Amino acid sequence: MQKFTQLTSTIVPLPNEDVDTDQIIPARFLKATTRDGFGENLFRDWRFHPDGSPKQDFVLNNPTHGGAVLAAGRNFGCGSSREHAAWALYDYGFRVVVSSFFADIFRGNALNNGLLPLQVSPAFLHQIFTAVAQDPTTVLSVDLEQQIVRIGADGPQEQFDIDPFRKVCMLNGYDDIDYLLSMKEEIEDFEQAAQP
């Protein structure tokens, strides 16, 4: 997993609420057996017509917007547990998703893949959308160490929460699995003790 410390980037606004993982990556694209290449089909049915031509009104096809930050409406990532959603966002180039609320499984999947699910207050999210609408070159600065997110060079800023364990993992690029593997003995002891 790649480390994440800080990032300053322009923002792709997607104000839709309840964006489910079937929209992020439709099921018919889950047939791959590796983690690569899912970015191509990110938001497939919102992004492309059935004949493969781009839907001009979808934000990813709008040259005005771009960047490594996706700002989305509340309850982002609900629905299916498919980690392919996090892979697709990452593969496309996103490193941060900002929303006022994330679905649980998506949040975990994102964190396990170096994609920061950044939860801000509804008011702050609204400020982000307003700022981007006024000026598409507005940047968002994220400092994970300090847990601070700021709009523009000197715009409003907000402190954000992240589980301390997850923070350490993100900052250092650790996977849970490394940690769990280091606990083998304790796990075996637990199994022994649990045997009736």
Partner 1 sequence: MAAKTLFDKIWEAHVVKPVEGGQDVLYIDRHLIHEVTSPQAFDGLRQRGIPVFRPAQTIATADHNVPTLHQHLPIVEPLSRFQVDKLTENCREFGIELYGLGHAWQGIVHVIGPELGITQPGMTIVCGDSHTSTHGAFGTIAFGIGTSQVEQVLATQCLLQKKPKRMRITVDGTLASGVTAKDIILHIIAQLSAAGATGYFVEYAGSAIRALSMEGRMTICNMSIEMGARGGLIAPDEVTFEYVRNREFAPKGSDWEKALQYWQTLHSDPDAVFDQEYYIQAEDIAPMVTYGTNPGMGIPVDGAIPQVSAEGGASFEKSLEYMGFAPGEKMLGKTVDYVFIGSCTNSRIEDLRLAAAYVKGKYKAPNVRAMVVPGSKQVEQQAKAEGLDRIFAEAGFEFREPGCSACLAMNEDKVPAGKYCVSTSNRNFEGRQGPGARTILAGPLMAAAAAIAGKIVDVRA
Dist. CA 74–CA 148, nearest whole Å: 20
Q: Is 176 in the site for partner 1 (CB under 8 A)?
A: yes
- Both tokens of 7, joined, read 């990032």
Q: Give the pair of three-digit tokens for residue 9.
A: 């980037």
**Nearest distance from residue 61's CB to partner 1, in Å?**
17
| Residue 99 is a binding residue for partner 1 (CB under 8 A) | no
Among 8, 9, 45, 148, interactor with partner 1 by CB under 8 A = 45
Question: Toward partner 1, which CB reaches closer, 100 or 138?
Answer: 100
* CA-based radius of gyration for the chain: 18
Stretch that binds partner 1, among 26-34, 91-99, 124-132, 134-142 (CB under 8 A): 26-34
Task: Give, for 193, the enclosing helix (H) or strand (E).
Answer: helix 184-194
Report the C-alpha gap between 60 and 75 in whole angstroms: 20
Question: What phi and psi, each to the nearest 5 degrees, are found at residue 166?
Answer: -65, -35
Q: Can residue 153 be called a binding residue for partner 1 (CB under 8 A)? A: no
Q: How many helices (H) and strands (E) does the chain have?
A: 8, 7
Told to check if 52 binds partner 1 by CB under 8 A, we report no
Given a contact cutoff of 8 angstroms between Cβ atoms, the answer to whether 167 and 148 are in contact is: no
Which residue, 3 or 137, has its beta carbon nearer to partner 1? 3
* Beta carbons of 13 and 71 less than 8 angstroms apart: yes
User: Rule CB under 8 A: is residue 40 a binding residue for partner 1?
Assistant: no
Residue 121 binds partner 1, judged by CB under 8 A? no
Give the containing element (helix H, strand E) for 21. helix 21-24
Q: Which stretch binds partner 1 (CB under 8 A): 58-66, 130-138, 149-157, 168-176?
A: 168-176
Asked if residue 126 binds partner 1 (CB under 8 A), the reply is no
Residue labelled with tokens 């350490």: 168
CB of 8 to partner 1, least distance (A): 27
Q: Which residue ranges make up the site for partner 1 (CB under 8 A)?
A: 15-18, 20, 22-23, 26-28, 30-35, 45, 50, 73-75, 78-84, 86, 101, 103-105, 108-109, 112-113, 163-166, 168, 175-177, 179-181, 183-184, 186-187, 190-191, 194, 196
